[in-house]
């Protein structure tokens, strides 16, 4: 009986060998895959097992972590002034993942980033829990507050940048949401999330970066830049040969009206055309420059591409189009669409003498031991127009602000302020309440420290009262005032 | 030394009792350290029950050792330490899972480590009883057919008085004791029956066969009992939906038949029968179909959006990686339900002790099987050989079916890891199984009695007046 018994023993050995191979396969070969599987709850447990790093504005954290009762997730994210900062921070929810900066720099904030490896190793030896790093932003708390409170109950967005560096100073979007309301994973969080998801006003949409609007008349400064750069006009004070009324090219005499019949738009120079927002002049200039070159200039200003600041922005668009459409795109209508940040970049490039700086909102990534692991330095993105041409447009935009009755810059002190209003039509046959736009910059002797774009979608006012100067400009002025006050103080 | 174990020797083999004692010290110390480890990881202090647990386990091992020293002095020195170590580790793992409130609710039976300790003690008592009262394993041979009847009654009992838990009907409620799994006891008794039956019939089965196409086919009347066993296995499978037990019984019968007759044709015949049975059942039984589906798609999300136990078990193993999270620091409780402490106990081993711990545990079982097989080879009587092969084979098949099922090598079946998993019947039955193997190995390794004195060699007696 010993021979078959030996064979049975070998067979048992093979069974054991099969088991050993299998556990090696599962726990060695497949381990990483299983460990990081989206449905493996350990991923989230690990993530919330220690406090997250913070997002810093002006040296103060605008986020926090509090201990939760949940047996699985020890810490829960909290946000200071959550509604105000939501477009910057995004959310970090146990149930609904992350977004915006919380998402982009998640690995730094959790402490899992490879660049924190040495920190983690040292923490391991000193017996400390893993800690997350901090994300230091370029934002300006006062400017952000001015923007958020300025928008108030209205639906809209504000983007402010420092034209000289590209630093993002304010990013507001209303209506907003409090990311703290669903940072856990219980019933309340689910309810809050579902309510926000189904809200028709889309409070979780980051309007400053992720929504594109027809830029309306604010785009005329781009058209002016293209006309100057491509030689369609000599300077901003040379008369253009523009008829009033102006008929769109290649159409059966479709008339393009001006805002008011009394505006001196016939043959107006660029300065006057900017002051009175003459559709006729800029439609004609856009047509003269031509679609291809208009697109080229728009793209140098940042159109037709996504930007990563490092949050991804929606791409603004100035598409390839036929002549009548291109003429209308030149006054910010038709197929032309822009994000508020894009229009702040336009104002910024003009204010920075024609040089567009790469916009960014994260200055430093800092390890838990305060070592800087990444530092962002200002970078030039493009030069959409020459310094000379930029200064001419500055002068025209400043004239516009000076001559405007609605815009009062006295609170800003001894600075030059240039701006451009816009009232973008929307809806079939312009039926819906138009968007009110205002883009502007403030100029000191050392250059321009701030450029702002404001869009108000819906301020609960009658359509007759919607105007860039009346609705959007005061918000922009408040934001600039806040930045300038900090400059003086700093 | 090892080679001398395999052959029948009349020489005075060392009893190896001191080796056993040294090994037992480790077998007690390792679980005690593991126990301390869990306490330190969970509360950063030594657990309060540590002294009691250590003394209890030490006392049990000490008594077992003394009884073996007295009543089975030539028994294999490794089996008792390995069983003690596995039993001790099992208690720690169950206690460790008791620390997770989510899977220790009253609805799930509350903490189970204390009960498991009582069952282990009962198991050990049975182990001692077998060693003390069963002087020779050949006594069991007398009860061949009684064994068959008892085994059949035990196997069939859940069909009539059992209740269905988790889709399997394998439990019997005993008032005042709790639920028992009769199949755990039946597996030992049926091995006794097979050994007794095959010892008598082996010549008939081996020699009286017809050769068809190069294969020896058994005669119809010899085939009868085999078909009966096959039918019983299928009945267990169909009425109790207990895939594991039917696989175990049929598997062990084929193994013992092959060893008894030395005919390969029996294996082919057996495999054909089991394949037929498997296809028959898998195509008719939804429960078995589910298991196969889960095996093929382990990570699939349940229809109601939940994560399946199978997926959670795989996540446990994967998250354990090479060295594991450390005892008390894993999340195998996410598996949920009662399975975490019983059927899926290996997931906790894999997650908290890692691949290293998992391989160590599998190798402990492998060593136990190897010692059993060695005992079979060394045994001097055919009944002892067959019984030892049967018992070791049962162990091997059970380990493979359970560990293979949990790790996703084969479809999951409802059996438990011997000694490690929570469950009273299992731990009691397996202590008895080890006792039988020790008894056989004691007989096998015992020095042969001195030859009967030959009258011729004796000195002429002086008759004194």
Please provide the DSSP assignment of A86-115 as one string: HHHH--EETTTEE-HHHHHTHHHHHT--GG
Distance CA A485, CA B167 (A): 73
Please answer whether residues B397 and B433 qualify as being in contact, where contact means their C-beta atoms are separated by less than 8 angstroms: no
Largest CA distance in chain A: 117
Please answer whether residues A384 and A354 qualify as being in contact, where contact means their C-beta atoms are separated by less than 8 angstroms: yes
Lowest-pLDDT range of A229-233, B171-175, B339-343, B406-410: B171-175
Distance CA B127, CA A439 (A): 89
Q: Which residue of A has its CA nearest to B372?
A: A9
Taking each helix axis from N to C end, the angle separating B79-98 and B424-445, rounded to the nearest 10 degrees, works out to 170
* Global ipTM: 0.90
Residues constituting chain A: 490
| A208 band by pLDDT with thresholds 50, 70 and 90 | very high
Closest partner residue to B299 (CB to CB) among A12, A16, A37 is A37
Chain B residues with CB under 8 Å of A71 CB are 101-102
Ramachandran bin of A52, using left for φ above 0, alpha for ψ from -120 to 50, beta for the remaining angles? beta
Taking one residue from A and the other from B, the number of pairs with CB-CB distance under 8 angstroms is 135
Distance CA A46, CA A38 (A): 13
Chain A residues with CB under 8 Å of B399 CB are 15-16, 19
What does pTM read for this prediction?
Answer: 0.74
- % of chain B beyond a pLDDT of 70: 86
Q: Using the 8-state DSSP alphabet, how is residue A70 labeled?
A: -
- Cβ B321–A28 below 8 Å, yes or no? yes
Q: Judge whether A386 counts as a catalytic residue.
A: no
- Cβ B259–A24 below 8 Å, yes or no? no
Give the strands of the sheet with B178-180, arranged side by side: B162-165, B168-174, B178-180
Q: Strand, helix or coil at A372?
A: strand
Chain B residues with CB under 8 Å of A24 CB are 355, 359
Token digits for A280? 């006729």
Q: Which residue of A has its CA nearest to B308?
A: A39
Distance CA A237, CA A185 (A): 62
User: Cβ of B311: how many Cβ atoms within 10 Å?
Assistant: 23
Among candidates A135, A126, A119, A129, which has minimal Cα distance to A56?
Answer: A135
Among candidates B120, B6, B114, which has minimal Cα distance to B60?
Answer: B120
Chain A residues with CB under 8 Å of B319 CB are 31, 34-35, 40, 42
User: Cβ of A266: how many Cβ atoms within 10 Å?
Assistant: 17
Chain A residues with CB under 8 Å of B377 CB are 2, 5-6, 9
- Cβ B366–A28 below 8 Å, yes or no? no
Closest partner residue to A8 (CB to CB) among B315, B389, B409 is B389
Element housing A10 (H / E): helix A2-24
Instruction: With a cut of 50, say whether residue B2 has pLDDT above it.
Output: no
Please answer whether residues A134 and A110 qualify as being in contact, where contact means their C-beta atoms are separated by less than 8 angstroms: no
Q: Mean pLDDT over residues A304-322, rounded?
A: 93
Rg, chain B, Cα only = 24
Please answer whether residues A220 and A345 qualify as being in contact, where contact means their C-beta atoms are separated by less than 8 angstroms: no
| B1 band by pLDDT with thresholds 50, 70 and 90 | very low
Please answer whether residues A101 and A311 qualify as being in contact, where contact means their C-beta atoms are separated by less than 8 angstroms: yes
Interface test with B, best of A13, A23, A24 (most B CBs within 10 A): A23
Q: Quick one: B224 exposed, middle or buried, by C-beta within 10 A (0-12, 13-18, 19+)?
A: exposed
Please answer whether residues A305 and A350 qualify as being in contact, where contact means their C-beta atoms are separated by less than 8 angstroms: no
| B461 band by pLDDT with thresholds 50, 70 and 90 | low
Please answer whether residues B20 and B77 qualify as being in contact, where contact means their C-beta atoms are separated by less than 8 angstroms: yes
Q: Strand, helix or coil at A432?
A: coil
- Cβ B318–A15 below 8 Å, yes or no? no
pLDDT tens digits for range A169-203:
999 999 999 999 998 888 888 999 999 999 998 99
Distance CA B307, CA A392 (A): 65
Residue-averaged pLDDT of chain B: 85
- What is the distance in angstroms between the Cα of B312 and the nearest Cα belonging to chain A? 7
Phi, psi of B429 (to 5 degrees): -60, -40
The pLDDT value given to residue B456: 64
Chain A residues with CB under 8 Å of B358 CB are 23, 27
- Cβ B318–A33 below 8 Å, yes or no? yes
Among candidates A386, A318, A361, A365, which has minimal Cα distance to A160?
Answer: A361
Domains of chain A are 210-362+381-489 (3.40.710.10)
Q: Which residue of A has its CA nearest to B377?
A: A2
Closest partner residue to B317 (CB to CB) among A19, A34, A39 is A34
Distance CA B23, CA B77 (A): 8
Q: Mean pLDDT over residues A273-302, rounded?
A: 93
Q: Using the 8-state DSSP alphabet, how is residue A308 labeled?
A: B
The pLDDT value given to residue B293: 85
* Residue corresponding to tokens 């030992």: B188
Which of A92, A183, A217, A467 does the annotation list as catalytic? A217
Residue A279 CA from chain centroid, whole number: 28
Closest partner residue to B319 (CB to CB) among A16, A22, A40 is A40
Please answer whether residues B270 and B227 qualify as being in contact, where contact means their C-beta atoms are separated by less than 8 angstroms: no
Among candidates A76, A93, A81, which has minimal Cα distance to A57?
Answer: A81
- Cβ B358–A12 below 8 Å, yes or no? no
Distance CA B58, CA B66 (A): 12
Q: Which residue of A has its CA nearest to B318?
A: A31
Whole-angstrom CA distances from A484 to A143, A165, A365, A407, B87 are 9, 15, 26, 17, 75
The end-to-end CA distance of chain A, in Å, is 96
- Cβ B331–A45 below 8 Å, yes or no? yes
pLDDT tens digits for range B285-340:
777 778 888 889 888 888 777 788 889 999 999 999 999 999 998 888 888 888 88
Chain A residues with CB under 8 Å of B102 CB are 71
Q: Mean pLDDT over residues B142-168, rounded?
A: 79
Q: Which residue of B has its CA nearest to A9?
A: B373
The pLDDT value given to residue B3: 43
- Cβ B318–A3 below 8 Å, yes or no? no
Interface test with B, best of A3, A13, A17, A34 (most B CBs within 10 A): A34
- Cβ B370–A8 below 8 Å, yes or no? no
Whole-angstrom CA distances from A365 to A160, A368, A383, B441, B455 are 22, 10, 29, 69, 100
pLDDT tens digits for range A24-65:
999 999 999 998 888 888 888 888 888 899 999 999 999 998
pLDDT tens digits for range B234-248:
777 677 777 778 788
Please answer whether residues A206 and A173 qualify as being in contact, where contact means their C-beta atoms are separated by less than 8 angstroms: yes
Chain A residues with CB under 8 Å of B363 CB are 16, 20
Distance CA B408, CA B295 (A): 6
Distance CA A437, CA A216 (A): 8
């Amino acid at each position: 009986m010993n021979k078959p018994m030996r064979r049975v023993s070998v067979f048992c050995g093979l069974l054991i060998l099969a088991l050993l191979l299998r556990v090696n396969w599962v726990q060695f070969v497949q381990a990483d895959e299983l460990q990081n599987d989206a449905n493996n709850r350990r991923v989230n447990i690990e993530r919330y097992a220690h406090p997250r790093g913070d997002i810093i504005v002006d040296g103060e954290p605008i986020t926090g972590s509090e201990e939760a009762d949940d047996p699985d997730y020890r810490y829960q994210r909290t946000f200071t002034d959550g509604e105000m900062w939501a477009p910057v921070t995004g959310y970090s929810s146990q149930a609904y993942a992350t977004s915006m900066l919380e998402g982009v720099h998640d690995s730094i904030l959790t402490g899992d980033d490879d660049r924190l490896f040495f920190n983690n190793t040292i923490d391991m030896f000193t017996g400390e829990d893993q800690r997350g790093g901090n994300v230091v932003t370029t934002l300006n708390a006062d400017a952000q507050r001015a923007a958020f409170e300025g928008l108030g109950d209205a639906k809209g967005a504000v983007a402010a940048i420092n034209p000289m560096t590209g630093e993002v100073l304010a990013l507001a979007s209303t209506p907003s949401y409090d990311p703290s309301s669903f940072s856990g994973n219980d019933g309340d969080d689910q309810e809050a999330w579902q309510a926000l998801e189904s809200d028709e006003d889309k409070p979780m949409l980051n309007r400053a970066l992720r929504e594109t609007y027809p830029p309306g008349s604010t785009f005329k400064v781009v058209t002016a830049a293209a006309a100057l750069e491509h030689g369609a006009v000599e300077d901003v004070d040379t008369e253009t040969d523009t008829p009033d009324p102006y008929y769109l090219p290649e159409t059966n005499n479709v008339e393009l009206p001006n805002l008011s019949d009394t505006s001196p738009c016939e043959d107006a120079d660029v300065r006057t055309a900017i002051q009175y927002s003459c559709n006729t002049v800029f439609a004609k200039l856009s047509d003269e420059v031509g679609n291809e070159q208009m697109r080229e200039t728009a793209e140098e200003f940042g159109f037709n591409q996504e930007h990563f600041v490092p949050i991804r922005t929606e791409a603004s668009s100035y598409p390839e189009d036929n002549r009548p459409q291109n003429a209308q795109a030149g006054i910010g209508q038709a197929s032309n669409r822009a994000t508020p940040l894009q229009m702040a970049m336009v104002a910024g490039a003009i204010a920075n003498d024609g040089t567009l700086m790469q916009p960014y909102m994260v200055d430093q990534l800092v390890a838990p031991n305060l070592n800087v692991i990444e530092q962002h330095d200002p970078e030039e993105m493009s030069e959409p127009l020459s310094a000379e041409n930029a200064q001419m447009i500055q002068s025209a935009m400043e004239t516009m602000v000076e001559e405007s009755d609605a815009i009062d810059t006295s609170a800003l002190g001894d600075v030059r302020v240039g701006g451009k209003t816009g009232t973008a039509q929307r809806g079939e046959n312009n039926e819906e309440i138009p968007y009110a736009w205002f883009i502007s910059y403030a100029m000191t002797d050392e250059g321009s420290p701030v450029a702002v774009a404001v869009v108000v979608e819906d301020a609960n006012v009658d359509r007759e009262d919607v105007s860039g100067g009346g609705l959007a400009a005061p918000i922009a002025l408040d934001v600039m005032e806040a930045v300038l006050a900090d400059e003086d103080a700093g | 030394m090892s080679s001398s174990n395999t052959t029948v020797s009349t020489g005075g083999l060392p009893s190896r009792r001191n080796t056993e004692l040294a090994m037992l010290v480790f077998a007690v110390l390792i679980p005690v350290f593991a126990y301390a480890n869990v306490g330190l990881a969970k509360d950063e202090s030594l657990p309060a029950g540590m002294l009691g647990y250590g003394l209890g386990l030490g006392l049990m091992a000490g008594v077992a050792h003394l009884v073996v020293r007295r009543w089975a002095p030539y028994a294999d020195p490794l089996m008792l330490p390995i069983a003690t170590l596995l039993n001790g580790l099992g208690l720690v793992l169950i206690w460790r899972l008791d620390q997770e409130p989510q899977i220790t609710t009253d609805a799930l039976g509350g903490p189970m480590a204390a009960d498991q300790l009582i069952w282990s003690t009962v198991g050990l008592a049975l182990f001692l009883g077998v060693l003390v009262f069963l002087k020779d394993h050949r006594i069991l041979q007398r009860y061949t057919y009684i064994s068959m009847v008892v085994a059949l009654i035990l196997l069939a009992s859940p069909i009539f008085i059992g209740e269905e838990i988790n889709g399997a009907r394998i439990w019997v409620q005993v008032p005042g004791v709790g639920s028992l799994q009769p199949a755990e006891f039946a597996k030992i008794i049926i091995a006794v029956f097979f050994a007794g039956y095959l010892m008598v019939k082996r010549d008939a089965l081996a020699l009286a066969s017809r050769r068809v196409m190069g294969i020896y086919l058994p005669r119809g009347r010899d085939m009868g009992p085999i078909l009966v066993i096959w039918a019983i296995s299928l009945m267990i499978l169909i009425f109790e939906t207990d895939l594991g037990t039917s696989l175990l019984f049929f598997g062990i019968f084929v193994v013992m038949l092959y060893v008894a007759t030395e005919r390969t044709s029996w294996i082919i015949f057996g495999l054909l029968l089991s394949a037929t049975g498997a296809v028959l059942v898998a195509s008719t039984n939804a429960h078995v179909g589910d298991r196969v589906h889960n095996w093929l798609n382990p990570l699939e999300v349940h229809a109601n959006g939940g994560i399946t136990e199978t997926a959670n078990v795989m996540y446990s193993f994967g998250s354990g990686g090479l060295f594991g999270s450390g005892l008390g620091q894993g999340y195998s409780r996410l598996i949920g339900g009662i399975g975490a402490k019983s059927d899926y106990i290996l997931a906790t081993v894999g997650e908290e002790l890692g691949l290293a711990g998992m391989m160590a545990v599998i190798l402990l079982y492998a060593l136990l099987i190897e010692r059993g097989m060695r005992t079979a080879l060394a045994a001097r009587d055919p009944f002892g050989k067959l019984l030892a092969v049967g018992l070791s084979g049962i162990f091997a098949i059970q380990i493979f079916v359970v560990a293979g099922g949990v790790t996703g090598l084969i479809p999951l079946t409802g059996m438990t890891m011997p000694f490690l998993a929570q469950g009273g019947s299992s731990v009691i039955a397996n202590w008895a199984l080890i006792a039988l193997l020790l008894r056989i190995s004691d007989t096998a390794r015992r020095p042969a009695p001195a030859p009967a004195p030959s009258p011729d060699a004796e000195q002429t007696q002086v008759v004194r007046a």
